[in-house]
Amino acid sequence: MQYTLVAWMRDKPGVLNRVSGMLRRRNFNIDSLQVSHSETPGISRMTFVVDGDERVADQVVKQLRKVVDVTAVEDITNRLAILRELALIRVRTTPATRGEIMQFAEIYRAQIVDVNAENLVVQAVGTEDKVDSLIELLRPFGIEEMVRTGRVALCRGDERPKRTKPATSIFKAAASLNGSGHGDPE
Amino acid sequence: MALAKREPAASGYDLGPLEFTGSQMIWEALLREGVKIVFGHPGGAILPAYDALAEYEADGRIHHVLVRHEQCAAHMADGFARATGDVGVCIVTSGPGATNLVTGLATAQMDSVPVVAITGQVPTNLLGTDAFQESDVVGVTQPVCKHNYLVTDIAELPLVMKEAFYIAREGRPGVVLVDICKDVQIETGIFRYDFEINLPGFEPWPEYSPESVQAAAELLNESERPLILAGHGIHLSNTSEELLQLVEKAGIPVVTTLLGTGNIPETHPLSLGMGGMHGEAFANRAVQACDVLVAMGMRFDDRITGRLDRFAAKAKIVHFELDRAEVGKNIVPDVAVIGDLAETLPAFLPQIKERRHQEWVDTLSEWRSETDEADIIQFEVEELIPPFVIRQLWHATEQTEKRVIVVTDVGQHQMWESQYYIHEHAGMLLTSGGLGTMGYALPAALGAQMSDPDALVWCVAGDGGFQMTLQELATIQQEKLPVKIAIINNGFLGMVRQWQQIFYDKRYVGTPILSPDYVKLAEAYDIPAAVVRHPSEVVSVLEQAHKTDGPFLVDFQVKEEVNVYPMVAPGAAVDELIRRPKPGYVQGYSGVQPSW
């Protein structure tokens, strides 16, 4: 299954390389990795989507924690969280198809951010599922170019990660974070 | 902020602020970390640091050991660190100097050895231009380091040096590399060393939970067939004593990993020696038959577990471990006690009931008597076989009053040493267990000897591994070190040949290896040497080696095709092992055959 992990790290040269190098070396399967500034100056925030079982996710968390520049790691898979991805999709248009494409975009609350005679660019924001399904709708028209940001995640209200050190506890396979699905009321 | 547990040697030096060049800062930082010996090789990008070293060498504050190859600088720092328990330091130049270090760094990191490596780098204005002797050292060494730094600004240098030692030393030890641009070494800046270390992401000493210790104790107290599997962590946390108390109080037999060798004296009735691929059959049977396996300071390496899904299948597993990431990596334990063994063991001990486990111990003794390896050694042999040499080496070193350190290389002789040498305490054997680096023994022995000139240091190497780093004979002579060298010379890359014999239908491809005349070679370095071809010569030559002041080399020309047994084939369960051949089938023995 897919796990959503969030890591905070010191914003230093090479830190992304340290993290991605570790993930590659340990042969973890990462579906997406997104990095940005956080609310704290000097601290970057990374969102990972990890494909694997709970042991893999547990190892990714632990190995991430060992990277000296990584200050905290949270597995938010089972938290109520807002999961979003942004996609920019350039679709080929003809006078006959332009209207239909724009209608699809509207249904998905996507925006048209660029337009000319031959194509237009749709900006879609939503869960990966939603973006995926819009892309499938647009594909028959001819997608000329596309970019996706990968998943970003923010927990809702009280589900916010505490970013504290984990309490040392009796490790049990079953006790590590698991479960299914991501809370998204939308 | 995690507090330092292991204080560096008291330095008594001014913590600043003081004005120094970057080069001076390197040495000033080392002094404040208690470093007196560094292993290195100069070159263009580290020249300013070497120039500054002159003044520190002149008054004897720092001694620099010139190596003949940078890989050996790292191995020497590693040997020094393993022998002392404190950080070993190596210093080399940019580009090839730094890339040559990599094998040595990986060796140390795999075995949790604290090493700080300092490398010169091209000046900041040339970074990224493919300048002469430029390489991306931070990029190259990242996967084999606990942490590493590139210093491009002199203002960062003192803090980076302090952090480097802190990270290398604290928690599970490891390798930290500091790559310093040449212009930073030349510039002048303000040096201070009274920083508070602030590394929020670094958790060297996780606090243990008393509940986990209690849960572990409950499991162990209910056990009828308990077993301890003790690793390097016992030595690193200096808890051999506590382990022995636990073992004797609760009557628990102990199997060790290769790096855990000597965690309890191997003469102890409850010691079963090493387990795993070349562990004795009774040790591995004990692992498979126990009902509670208490693993301490070890990481369930494939060489100890064999086939994972059948490892200790009847046992509940308790894992005492400092590094959280090792818990659940290969084996998911039933109870994990995460924390420093120096804290968890003393908390564990009073909760353990006094037990004898007589039935279990008797069973193990019975299994053991089936494999009475002692017999192998006592019989007179006509041909020189390696186990005999190793056992005689043990007899010879047993008589000395000195501290004995045996440093082995990698391969058959390494396993024979582990099987036939009797280790009385942890830290007696230094070997490359994780990475399995051929060529490790000679430089590591040199590093160990540098840390303790009075110790009796034996480098035991095969003819293959020895030839990988034999240029360091010159370093031994230049430093006038009394390292004793035993080459177990069988004309093959023996372990590879053994695999070819067993798994590749005896096709010996690339394994027959020519050796030089080692006695002549030693002579060229002015090192006394002898060759041994017959068992009757072993004792007298070892005596001669011990009587000789200074280094001594022995070329043991042993029987060629002797195998290490028992052996667990890769991918097999640890009790599916290939036993020693039956009497009558064993080459190399004559007269009465021992009963194995």
Let me know if residue B205 belongs to a domain: no
Interval B514-553: pLDDT, tens: 999 999 999 999 999 999 999 999 999 999 999 999 999 9
Let me know if residue B198 belongs to a domain: no
Same-domain check for residues B166 and B305: no
**pLDDT tens by residue, chain A, 186 residues:** 999 999 999 998 889 999 999 999 999 989 999 999 999 999 999 999 999 999 999 999 999 999 999 999 999 999 999 999 999 999 999 999 999 999 999 999 999 999 999 999 999 999 999 999 999 999 999 999 999 999 999 998 876 666 554 433 333 333 333 333 333 333
The answer to whether residue B132 is catalytic is: yes
DSSP code of residue B336: E
Domain boundary, last residue among B321, B338, B369: B369
Calculate the CA dihedral of residues B9, B12, B17, B23 and round it to 10 degrees: -60
CA atoms within 13 A on the CB side of B116: 27
Domain boundary, last residue among B337, B354, B369: B369
The CA distance from B204 to B340, in Å, is: 9
Mean pLDDT across chain B: 93
Q: Burial level of B53, CB count in 10 A (0-12/13-18/19+)? A: buried
Same-domain check for residues B309 and B269: yes
B19, B55, B132, B222: the active-site residue: B132
* Cβ contacts of B160 on chain A, cutoff 8 Å: none
DSSP code of residue A183: B
The CA distance from B150 to B137, in Å, is: 8
**Which residues are registered as beta bridge partners of B91?**
B40, B118
Gap from B330 CA to chain A (nearest CA, Å): 10
pLDDT of residue A186: 30
Number of structural domains chain B divides into: 3
The answer to whether residue B182 is catalytic is: yes
Residue B594 has pLDDT above 50, yes or no: no
**Which residues are registered as beta bridge partners of B567?**
B578
Same-domain check for residues B426 and B347: no
CA atoms within 13 A on the CB side of B240: 20
Q: Which residue in this structure is represented by tokens 């020696």?
A: B273
Let me know if residue B60 belongs to a domain: yes
pLDDT of residue B586: 43
Residue B112 has pLDDT above 70, yes or no: yes
Q: Residue A23 to residues A19, A28, A61, A62, B475: CA-CA distances in angstroms?
A: 6, 5, 11, 11, 40
Interval B47-95: pLDDT, tens: 999 999 999 999 999 999 999 999 999 999 999 999 999 999 999 999 9
Residue B262's pLDDT band, with cuts at 50, 70 and 90, is: very high
Dihedral over Cα of B90, B91, B97, B98: its sign = positive
Q: Which residue in this structure is represented by tokens 């990277």?
A: A67
Gap from B4 CA to chain A (nearest CA, Å): 16
Domain boundary, last residue among B143, B161, B191: B191
The CA distance from B428 to B424, in Å, is: 8
Question: Which CATH architecture group holds A2-78?
Answer: 2-Layer Sandwich (3.30)
The answer to whether residue B146 is catalytic is: no
Domain around B25: 18-191
Cβ within 8 Å, pair B209-A63: no
Whether the CB of B336 is below 8 Å from some CB of chain A: the reply is yes
10 Å Cβ neighbour count for B398? Answer: 11
pLDDT of residue B195: 87
The b-or-e profile of B370-383 (16+ CB within 10 A means b, else e) is ebebeebbeeebeb
pLDDT of residue B514: 97
The CA distance from A21 to B143, in Å, is: 7
Gap from A168 CA to chain B (nearest CA, Å): 6
| Average pLDDT for B558-571 | 90
Same-domain check for residues B352 and B400: no
Interval B7-43: pLDDT, tens: 555 567 888 789 999 999 999 999 999 999 999 999 9
Of the candidates B103, B106, B108, B57, the one whose C-alpha atom is nearest the C-alpha of residue B79 is: B108
The CA distance from A93 to A115, in Å, is: 9
pLDDT of residue A183: 32
Picking from B167, B199, B329, the nearest residue to A59 by CB comes out as: B329
Same-domain check for residues B353 and B457: no
The CA distance from B480 to B474, in Å, is: 10
- Helix, coil or strand: residue A146: strand
10 Å Cβ neighbour count for B9? Answer: 12
Residue B440 contacts residue B278 (beta carbons within 8 Å): no
Let me know if residue B583 belongs to a domain: no
Same-domain check for residues B360 and B415: no
Let me know if residue B588 belongs to a domain: no
Q: Residue B575 to residues B118, B365, B530: CA-CA distances in angstroms?
A: 45, 17, 41
Residue B592's pLDDT band, with cuts at 50, 70 and 90, is: very low
The CA distance from B530 to B521, in Å, is: 11
Same-domain check for residues B357 and B407: no
Residue A134 contacts residue A128 (beta carbons within 8 Å): no
Same-domain check for residues B278 and B391: no
Same-domain check for residues B417 and B541: yes
pLDDT of residue B119: 98
DSSP line for B518-547: HHHHHHHTT--EEEE-SHHHHHHHHHHHHH
Q: What ipTM did this prediction achieve?
A: 0.90
Cβ within 8 Å, pair B209-A65: no
DSSP line for B388-402: HHHHHHHHHHHT-SS
Residue A48, φ and ψ in degrees, nearest 5: -115, 145
**Same fold for the domain at A2-78 and the one at A82-148?**
yes
The CA distance from B492 to B515, in Å, is: 10
Same-domain check for residues B238 and B169: no
Same-domain check for residues B164 and B31: yes
Question: For residue A10, what is the nearest residue in chain B, using CA coordinates?
Answer: B201
Interval B241-255: pLDDT, tens: 999 999 999 999 999
Gap from A18 CA to chain B (nearest CA, Å): 7
CATH code (residue B315):
3.40.50.1220
Picking from B142, B207, B211, the nearest residue to A170 by CB comes out as: B211
CB contact residues (below 8 A), chain B span 196-225, against chain A: 199-203, 206-209, 211-212, 215
Same-domain check for residues B178 and B221: no
Residue B579 has pLDDT above 90, yes or no: no
Domain ranges of chain A: 2-78, 82-148
The CA distance from B595 to B319, in Å, is: 37
B495, B498, B552, B556: the active-site residue: B495
Residue B355 contacts residue B292 (beta carbons within 8 Å): no
Let me know if residue B572 belongs to a domain: no
Question: For residue B202, what is the nearest residue in chain A, using CA coordinates?
Answer: A68
Structure-token pair, residue B300: 């369930």
Calculate the CA dihedral of residues B475, B480, B482, B485 and round it to 10 degrees: 30
**CATH (one of 3.40.50.460, 3.40.190.10, 3.30.70.1150, 1.25.40.10) for A82-148:** 3.30.70.1150
Let me know if residue B424 belongs to a domain: yes
Picking from A63, A67, A168, the nearest residue to B338 by CB comes out as: A168
The CA distance from B157 to B16, in Å, is: 14
